[in-house]
Structure 1
Amino acid sequence: MKHITKQIHDAILHADRILLVPHKNPDGDAMGAVSGLAGWLESMKKNYSIFCATDVSKQLSYLNPENKLIVDTAIWDKPFDVIVVCDSGDLRYAGVEELMKKQPNATIINIDHHITNEHYGALNLVITHASSTSEIVYRLLTLCRATISADMATSLLTGIITDTDNFTNSATSAGAIEVASELVGKGARFDSIKYFIYKNTPLTAFQLWGRIFSRLTKHNSLGIVYTYLKQDDLLEFDLAEDDISGVTNFLNAIDDGHAGMILKEQTDGTVKGSFRTTRDDVDVSNMAKHFGGGGHKKAAGFTVEGPVEQALEHILSELEVLFSKQSILQNTRHW
């Protein structure tokens, strides 16, 4: 890691204009990593901007340093020396594949922990055994001898907490706990993170969770438990999708079936899907890849065309065919 760290440090040190990019619909890890890097660039008096292809949820608004985040694509009309993409296995997931064509001379730095990462950068800091991209950023900053402020520590700890589901899922490693401890020692505000991430949920969100859970169904031959969310549900309860962001990880609490899946209908008519599993013999990243997505062995996502009812029928049908071809009922399950 030391060699790639030096290359990244040198690229940033000599850059006049830098752009930080989390993936679209960013989670706590994507925003935590970007916010942590932003703090480093601030300390070096660097000229930088943050671009996201979508708005950031209200829940994560505290990770928008100096309100620097921009969603207007016009920012891509000016040249950047370095573009750092965080927590995205490919440029499509980041929502910048076409926009990147406007920056032919920029050095792309890819910082990520997903096993399906396509190594699209000129510099790729991809560590698949890391709990989160935020953990990787912490190790990068430490090797660069950066001073990590309390705000930076809070951002990076947010990323670790959210990607490990509060230190309860399989991403929770000795390294993650070690880094989390060091971040607390550097002033990370654990109570603030708990409030914004876990204790800031409106009553109507829990009521909508109830509806989502009431739709839980098991596909017996596939061994998958699934449910879905419609845009009409959000309108009825006057909620945004980020208000129920925690519902996906509850799929890991189900002890019936090999994996869980939730489909969420988007405003543009597409459907976002998420797979979760706690089993060691199940790799859901392979299934997500089949639908153009990716992720980790035990947590992965994808996007397909809607509406959600048709998407569900299509996905289950495709999985049945795929499992049949792969003899999925043998000793190893490839999803």
Structure 2
Amino acid sequence: KKESKKVLSLIKKAKKILLSLHVSPDVDSLTSTLSMNLVLKRMGKKTRIISYSQIPPKLLEYAGHDEIEIADFSKVNFSEFDLFIALDSAQERMITRSPYPKEFPENFKIINIDHHITNNKYADLNFVYPFSSTAELLYWLFKDWGTKIDKELADLLFRGIMTDTGGFQYPMTSSKTFSAASQLIEKGASLNEAVLFSLRSFNFKTLKYWGKILNNMQIDESGKFIWSKITAEERKELGVDPTEIEGAASLFAPVVKGTEFGIILNEESGNLIRGSLRSRANFDVSKIAVELGGGGHKQAAGFSLEMPILEAEKKILEVVRKYI
């Protein structure tokens, strides 16, 4: 409660506040940012939301997405703002792929609100706790503030929790997570709409993409992990946009009996490779992700590399095999 009051105090002092989605935003990033923006505007604050990456088409269904500007954090005129709130961003490189600014105006403060265990605490105030999702963390934060949570806010927070827990399947899901979800439903969040959106609204082309992922899948000779990769050319042949490929790692990487984890590699464009790791049980994939320049949770983590996909695959396998 002491830390939550510090967050509220900095917000109350600020007149204009900058918010940012993380690079390649997911549902938790979007719903957390839109939720905070909604609360700030109801407090009478002026806000601006930016995103380094384009917003995936599926996320454009959310009310409030039209307030998001595609802009690079490193090029923002910080003198226009009193406060920056980074949500769901474990490291600076999740905010911008450009060099992170080394200096800010004297009166410009940064709050880091996140749930990842790999968070490197880069802000003036770090509100970082290992909840299931940043959306869940925000729910308890807003509750501590005495914020009125109506249906609009409840739906945003509930969907963030629903997606980041994989429908309440992932190990970070706790009794508090279920309590938050239950209370949000009581406040008007629609379980049916969240399930349809999060778990039952995939494009047919996305299913074809999943088929390619399964067809390309390999198991390491150790039997400890599986991996699959898909090239930009393969994805282009399927007509799948890079922003529509989320979900394959969670669906397939951690499901093979006898293995400890799985890896899905996507060649997005040029030499940009995005990797997703998922653990079956207690294997800590975040250590692998950190060594490869990324981060995340013990059971779910990710990273990005800029190199040809075959070279990236070789490097990744060399790193991974050190941990088995």
* TM-score bucket (shorter structure): over 0.9
Q: Secondary structure at the match of 1:266?
A: strand
State whether residues 252 and 276 of structure 1, in contact with CA within 8 Å, keep that contact through their aligned partners in structure 2: yes
Q: Which moved more, 1:115-124 or 1:219-228?
A: 219-228
State whether residues 259 and 280 of structure 2, in contact with CA within 8 Å, keep that contact through their aligned partners in structure 1: no
Partner residue, 1:11: 10
CA deviation vs aligned residue, 1:226-245 (integer Å, no higher than 9, x gap): 00122112211222123231
| Alpha-carbon shift at residue 72 of structure 1 (Å) | 2.5
- Distance in 2, matches of 1:155 and 1:76, equals 27
User: What is the 5 A alignment of 1:126-137?
Assistant: 126-128=128-130, 130-137=131-138
TM-score normalised by the chain length of structure 2: 0.93
Partner residue, 1:118: 120
Partner residue, 1:161: 162
Partner residue, 1:33: 32
Does 2:184 align with 1:201? no
User: What is the 5 A alignment of 1:287-326?
Assistant: 287-320=288-321, 322-323=322-323
Q: Which moved more, 1:117-126 or 1:144-153?
A: 144-153
Amino acid at match of 2:255: A
- Distance in 2, matches of 1:45 and 1:118, equals 31
Relative distance call for 1:196 and 1:264 in structure 2 (3 A) is: same
Partner residue, 2:139: 138
| Alpha-carbon shift at residue 160 of structure 1 (Å) | 0.7
Q: Secondary structure at the match of 2:161?
A: helix
Amino acid at match of 2:48: S
Relative distance call for 1:305 and 1:40 in structure 2 (3 A) is: same
| Alpha-carbon shift at residue 111 of structure 1 (Å) | 0.6
State whether residues 289 and 303 of structure 2, in contact with CA within 8 Å, keep that contact through their aligned partners in structure 1: yes
Relative distance call for 1:45 and 1:66 in structure 2 (3 A) is: farther
Q: Which runs of 4+ in 1 moved over 3 A?
A: 96-105
State whether residues 249 and 264 of structure 2, in contact with CA within 8 Å, keep that contact through their aligned partners in structure 1: yes
Q: Secondary structure at the match of 1:25?
A: coil
Give the alignment partner of residue 255 of structure 1, picking from 243, 254, 257: 257
Does 2:69 align with 1:70? yes
Report % sequence identity: 30
| Alpha-carbon shift at residue 36 of structure 1 (Å) | 1.0
| Count of aligned pairs | 320
Relative distance call for 1:287 and 1:78 in structure 2 (3 A) is: closer
Q: Secondary structure at the match of 1:98?
A: coil
Q: Secondary structure at the match of 2:76?
A: helix
State whether residues 226 and 263 of structure 2, in contact with CA within 8 Å, keep that contact through their aligned partners in structure 1: yes
Q: Secondary structure at the match of 1:84?
A: strand
| Alpha-carbon shift at residue 147 of structure 1 (Å) | 1.1
RMSD: 1.8
- Distance in 1, matches of 2:62 and 2:122, equals 26
| Alpha-carbon shift at residue 309 of structure 1 (Å) | 1.8
CA deviation vs aligned residue, 1:237-283 (integer Å, no higher than 9, x gap): 22212323111101222224111000111225211111101222x11
| Alpha-carbon shift at residue 62 of structure 1 (Å) | 3.1
- Distance in 2, matches of 1:85 and 1:179, equals 22
- Distance in 2, matches of 1:153 and 1:78, equals 31
Gapped regions of structure 2 (runs ≥ 5) = none
- Distance in 2, matches of 1:192 and 1:209, equals 24
State whether residues 217 and 226 of structure 2, in contact with CA within 8 Å, keep that contact through their aligned partners in structure 1: yes
State whether residues 170 and 278 of structure 1, in contact with CA within 8 Å, keep that contact through their aligned partners in structure 2: no
Gapped regions of structure 1 (runs ≥ 5) = 329-335
Does 2:70 align with 1:52? no
| Alpha-carbon shift at residue 192 of structure 1 (Å) | 2.5
- Distance in 2, matches of 1:148 and 1:258, equals 40
State whether residues 77 and 102 of structure 1, in contact with CA within 8 Å, keep that contact through their aligned partners in structure 2: no
User: What is the 5 A alignment of 1:209-220?
Assistant: 209-220=210-221
CA deviation vs aligned residue, 1:177-215 (integer Å, no higher than 9, x gap): 110111111111333322332222121211121011111
Relative distance call for 1:17 and 1:99 in structure 2 (3 A) is: farther
TM-score normalised by the chain length of structure 1: 0.90
| Alpha-carbon shift at residue 152 of structure 1 (Å) | 1.2
- Distance in 2, matches of 1:296 and 1:138, equals 20
State whether residues 263 and 273 of structure 1, in contact with CA within 8 Å, keep that contact through their aligned partners in structure 2: yes
